[in-house]
Amino acid sequence: RTKRVGVVGPGEDSAPAPRRKKRESTLLKDSIISHFFPTVNADSDGGPSKKLRSFLSCFVVYGSEDVEGGKLRNREFEVADQSNNGFISIAEFDRWIRSILVTKLDRGEGDKLWRFFHPSFTYAFNRARTKAVEQAVTGAQRDQTGEEYIGGDYVMKKDFRLLNLSLCIYAAMVDAFALIDGHDD
């Protein structure tokens, strides 16, 4: 039996079904800072530092779930993967972060932020690579040379978003600890 559109039968609600909104990636679209620190004024004491805001402004776009974020990630993964093997090592990730900071900010400020947030790079990288190893239980993947790969010391393209999100989160932790300890250099 086919149902006629627009005709309301007995026991049916006459109101049309609500339309589902498109999924919005609100976490990162506007700013990761506004998500993690919604009530903090940028100029108030105890909030995220200017260093963190500058750092996040360089990397938050690579964590976006929208189409534009995916295109940016794909392009930047190719830049970061200097060996063109489909994987990023910690050294390649470190160089990529420095190049982004120096490109988007001036060289002096970029180098200063790179040194200040450097501890977060390793934590973020290890988080992304261990997540990849956890997900690789279903089967090995192959790199461009045909060699079997199950995670290990590298991050694959599919984990690049997680890598950037982790970078932003661990950078916020480094900033918070620096604020608590009273070290801003």
pLDDT of the chain, 185 residues: tens digit per residue: 444 444 444 555 554 444 433 333 444 444 455 555 444 444 455 567 889 999 998 998 888 888 988 899 999 999 999 988 888 999 999 999 999 999 999 899 999 999 999 999 999 999 888 876 665 544 445 555 555 555 567 888 888 999 999 999 999 999 988 888 776 65
At 87 the pLDDT is 87
CA distances (Å), origin 47, targets 4, 71, 127, 149, 179: 57, 32, 25, 42, 9
32-39 long-range contacts, CB within 8 A, separation 24+: 32/56, 32/60, 32/63, 32/168, 32/172, 36/172
At 133 the pLDDT is 60
At 34 the pLDDT is 54
The pTM score is 0.68
- Can you tell me the distance from the alpha carbon of 44 to that of 116, in angstroms, rounded to the nearest whole number? 21
At 64 the pLDDT is 83
Residue 36: which residues within 8 A CB-CB, separation 6 or more?
48, 172
At 28 the pLDDT is 43
pLDDT tens-digit profile of 122-148?
A: 999 998 888 766 655 444 455 555 555
Residue 114: which residues within 8 A CB-CB, separation 6 or more?
97, 98, 101, 102
